[in-house]
Amino acid sequence: MALTENRAVLDWIDEMAAMTQPDAIVWIDGSEAQLEALRSQACATGELEKLNQEKLPGCYLHRTAVNDVARVEDRTFICCEKQEDAGPTNNWMAPAEMYARLKPLYTGAMKGRTMYVIPYSMGVVGSPFAKYGIELTDSIYVVLNMAIMTRVGQSVLDALGDSPDYVKGLHAKAELDPERRYIVHFPQDNTIMSVNSGYGGNVLLGKKCFALRIASCLGRDEGWMAEHMLILGIQNPAGEVRYLAAAFPSACGKTNLAMLIPPAHYQEKGWKVWCVGDDIAWLRVGEDGRLWAMNPEYGFFGVAPGTNAKSNPNALATTRRGTIFTNVVHNLDDDTVWWEGLDKNPPEHAVDWKGNPWNGTVSAEKGAHPNSRFTAPAKNCPCISPEFESPRGVPISAIVFGGRRARTAPLVYQSRDWEHGVFVGSIMASETTAAATGAVGVVRRDPMAMLPFCGYHMADYWQHWLDMGKVLGDKAPKIFNVNWFRTDDEGRFLWPGFGDNLRVLEWIMKRCFHEADAVETPIGYEPKAEDIDLEGSGVDRATLEGLLKLDTAMWLDEVNAIRAFYDKFGAKLPETLSQELSALEARLH
Ligand code: GDP
Ligand code: PGA
Ligand code: MN
């Protein structure tokens, strides 16, 4: 039975059901009873496996198809009327042509299956900045993940009332055929269509599809920003909590930084880190003229490998109840889960991510997929911020960009001002990871970590950043760049990372409040080596100096690479950014 009388919603669902032809339609009301019944049903069909309920209460395991383990950027489209509005970094097709191409893929795709109607909210239901969506899907796995990642159910429909202002999402697993897999966005229709996939980033439509690709378009039109950023609060020994937002590409450390545990002597002095969000920030200028950030999500969709009790006890603790694990190792001895980097004791009697018997003590192959994931409720996180449910979010003092660069980028530097900071974001580059299909470890430009997520022309997006800076004026956050991933000649990381990253964040925050000094370099301001606290880090002063060192020849090469990248954007490239590039080149000479 329908849970709303909203005509726009009912008509759209009728239309989608006529096309996909499900046997039944089930509305998700958000009740625990309904979700529990769906979990049982999924266990009965093998879609989920229930794990050891004493060790991992409320936890389940799922495996995707072997060819369906990451976001598919080459099959992701922005379908606006004019190609020039999608820009050179997005796949594009005219909306009418794409709707026509998708129709046969969806026709009859839900025959013999149930269509679930998931009303969900990005942001606190009923709050001024919340936005609503409805996802139709034939996957219980999607329903259960959406119920962790977003606020779902009747309350969302009540808040929507009879408004037609919601984002439509249609997901069908179809045959999971990678050749006919499409992740498509129609910004002018507020519509998302995903077909032939069952992997999180492709099918949990509230996340990258809505909260970044569609929302970036809404933000441009309405004067706010949707960004691929974690949000965290740093409490200093004086008890003040200062907030920053940080954009890193997928699998470059957002979730880990968001749940950082301070090094021991920082803890003794009273430092604490509060997690507001780990992946997406919606940013607005507040009534006080400052930039405020809220996390529209309700859970974490984190990378499992590498998560352990040493690198990130908070992330690990977050996954110990109410969590769905995807493509990790199933430890048959005690019915729990394992992944590479969890501990040094891989299970002997286990099933790998592909569903095959696996003996971790002898196998040369990885047991968990490198992009295996956990979907966990935000409220599980031991350091979840008291502001997590604050509808207006938190005021941002610093914006931090970063990525994986083995050589070029120093550990940290500060931009000269907002415009230069936008330049620093626009030239971000990072080695590719397993979060998307394709080669891993190849350096590519990923402006503001939004390359795969910006729903319109990237140059217009940069202009939007510049315009936001004008509105913010002297209340604008300071902008920084970090790189935790610099390596030595043997490819070993020079910086310990994880909790030790607080040493860098401390300097960043002090810079925002005029409490720390800096040295001017051609690329921006860097800390004096003595201003980074190394106590207990295992890093010596010489290594730190190496981490902060600039190689001018390498940066001159970088200038050329940036110029070639900028050339793609033609006349749309904001003049300010080409001036910043020339100024950087002049300073390097
Ligand atoms: P996200 O996808 O951006 O949220 O990235 P995650 O926080 O999930 O981290 C992705 C991978 O990078 C995991 O394997 C982490 O263990 C690793 N990682 C995260 N932070 C650091 C760090 O500071 N240093 C190093 N060396 N690795 C890190
Ligand atoms: P993430 O992306 O690696 O940034 O968490 C998740 C995804 O959508 O695949
Ligand atoms: Mn993450």
d(Cα 584, Cα 580) in Å, to the nearest integer? 6
What pLDDT, on the 0 to 100 scale, is given for residue 355? 98
How many structural domains comprise the chain? Answer: 3
Give the closest residue to 574 by CA, choosing from 464, 429, 485.
Answer: 464
Mean pLDDT value of segment 229-233: 98
> Is residue 55 assigned to a domain?
no
For residue 460, say whether it is annotated as part of any ligand binding site.
no
Mean pLDDT value of segment 449-453: 98
Mean pLDDT value of segment 181-202: 98
**pLDDT for 439 beyond 90:** no
What pLDDT, on the 0 to 100 scale, is given for residue 41? 98
The DSSP bridge pattern shows strands 291-294 and 299-303 to be unpaired
Mean pLDDT value of segment 97-119: 98
What pLDDT, on the 0 to 100 scale, is given for residue 16? 98
- Ligand 2 atom, smallest distance to 201 CA: 8
Q: How far is the CA of 452 from the centre of ligand 2 (A)?
A: 10
For ligand 1, is residue 496 a contact (CB within 6 Å)?
A: no
Q: Are 321 and 57 in contact (CB under 8 A)?
A: yes
Give the closest residue to 401 by CA, choosing from 443, 450, 471.
Answer: 450
What pLDDT, on the 0 to 100 scale, is given for residue 153? 98
Q: What is the DSSP string of 241-278?
A: EEEEEEE--TTSSHHHHHT----HHHHHHT-EEEEEES
> Is residue 14 assigned to a domain?
yes
For ligand 2, atom 1, the nearest C-alpha belongs to 250
Q: Are 479 and 398 in contact (CB under 8 A)?
A: yes
For ligand 1, atom 9, the nearest C-alpha belongs to 253
- Indicate whether 346 and 439 sit together in one domain: no
Mean pLDDT value of segment 404-412: 94
What pLDDT, on the 0 to 100 scale, is given for residue 361? 97
The residue from 252, 275, 383, 454 that is catalytic is 252
Mean pLDDT value of segment 100-108: 98
Q: What is the 3-state secondary structure (H, E, C) of 372-429?
A: CEEEEEHHHCCCECCCCCCCCCEEEEEEEEECCCCCCCCCEEECCCHHHHHHHHHCCE
Maximum CA pair distance of the chain? Answer: 70
For ligand 1, is residue 248 a contact (CB within 6 Å)?
A: yes
Mean pLDDT value of segment 211-230: 98
Mean pLDDT of the chain: 97
- Indicate whether 374 and 428 sit together in one domain: no
- Indicate whether 304 and 292 sit together in one domain: no
- Indicate whether 403 and 418 sit together in one domain: yes
**Crossing angle between the packed helical segments 95-106 and 7-20, to the nearest 10 degrees:** 60
Read off the CATH number of the domain in which 555 is found: 3.90.228.20
Number of helices and strands in the chain (H, E): 17, 31
- Indicate whether 368 and 304 sit together in one domain: yes
Read off the CATH number of the domain in which 17 is found: 3.40.449.10
Q: Domain span at residue 166? A: 7-46+72-223
**pLDDT for 471 beyond 90:** yes
For ligand 1, atom 24, the nearest C-alpha belongs to 497
- Indicate whether 106 and 168 sit together in one domain: yes
Read off the CATH number of the domain in which 319 is found: 2.170.8.10
Query: With bands split at pLDDT 50, 70 and 90, how would you rate the model's confidence at 441?
Result: confident
Q: Which of 356, 380, 404 is the last residue of a domain?
A: 380
For residue 255, say whether it is annotated as part of any ligand binding site.
yes
Q: What percent of the chain has pLDDT over 70?
A: 100
Tokens of 200: 């999180």
Sequence-distant (6+) residues with CB within 8 A of 313 are 261, 382
**pLDDT for 145 beyond 90:** yes
Q: Which of 380, 412, 442 is the last residue of a domain?
A: 380
For residue 432, say whether it is annotated as part of any ligand binding site.
no
What pLDDT, on the 0 to 100 scale, is given for residue 522? 98
Q: How far is the CA of 200 from the centre of ligand 2 (A)?
A: 8
Q: What is the 3-state secondary structure (H, E, C) of 284-335?
A: EECCCCCEEEECCCCEEEEECCCCCCCCCHHHHHHCCCCCEEECCEEECCCC
Ligand nearest to the CA of 402: 1
- Indicate whether 276 and 420 sit together in one domain: yes
What pLDDT, on the 0 to 100 scale, is given for residue 59? 98
Over the stretch 48-68, which tens digit does the pLDDT of each residue have? 999 999 999 999 999 999 999
Query: With bands split at pLDDT 50, 70 and 90, how would you rate the model's confidence at 1?
Result: confident
What pLDDT, on the 0 to 100 scale, is given for residue 469? 98
Ligand nearest to the CA of 213: 2
d(Cα 353, Cα 160) in Å, to the nearest integer? 40
> Is residue 63 assigned to a domain?
no
For residue 250, say whether it is annotated as part of any ligand binding site.
yes
The half-sphere exposure of 264 on its side-chain side, counting CA atoms within 13 A, is: 5
For ligand 2, atom 7, the nearest C-alpha belongs to 201
- Indicate whether 448 and 525 sit together in one domain: yes
Query: With bands split at pLDDT 50, 70 and 90, how would you rate the model's confidence at 102?
Result: very high
**pLDDT for 462 beyond 90:** yes
Q: Which of 189, 223, 257 is the last residue of a domain?
A: 223
Mean pLDDT value of segment 29-49: 98
Q: Is 457 helix (H, G, I), strand (E, B) or coil?
A: coil
> Is residue 471 assigned to a domain?
yes
For ligand 2, atom 9, the nearest C-alpha belongs to 201
For ligand 1, atom 23, the nearest C-alpha belongs to 497
Q: Are 318 and 376 in contact (CB under 8 A)?
A: yes
- Ligand 1 atom, smallest distance to 498 CA: 23
What pLDDT, on the 0 to 100 scale, is given for residue 545? 97
Ligand 3 (ion): residues with CB under 5 Å are: 254-255, 302
For residue 256, say whether it is annotated as part of any ligand binding site.
yes
Mean pLDDT value of segment 204-215: 98
- Indicate whether 250 and 356 sit together in one domain: no
Mean pLDDT value of segment 494-520: 98
Mean pLDDT value of segment 540-553: 96
Q: Which of 146, 250, 255, 433 to mutate to test the pocket of ligand 2 (most atoms within 8 A of CB)?
A: 250
> Is residue 564 assigned to a domain?
yes
Q: Catalytic site residue 43?
A: no
Q: How far is the CA of 59 from the centre of ligand 2 (A)?
A: 21
For residue 201, say whether it is annotated as part of any ligand binding site.
yes
Over the stretch 334-367, which tens digit does the pLDDT of each residue have? 999 999 999 999 999 999 999 999 999 999 999 9
- Indicate whether 461 and 330 sit together in one domain: no
For ligand 2, is residue 208 a contact (CB within 6 Å)?
A: yes
Q: How far is the CA of 278 from the centre of ligand 3 (A)?
A: 6
- Indicate whether 399 and 481 sit together in one domain: yes
DSSP single-letter state for residue 579 = H
For ligand 2, is residue 201 a contact (CB within 6 Å)?
A: yes
Over the stretch 151-188, which tens digit does the pLDDT of each residue have? 999 999 999 999 999 999 999 999 999 999 999 999 99
- Indicate whether 484 and 360 sit together in one domain: no
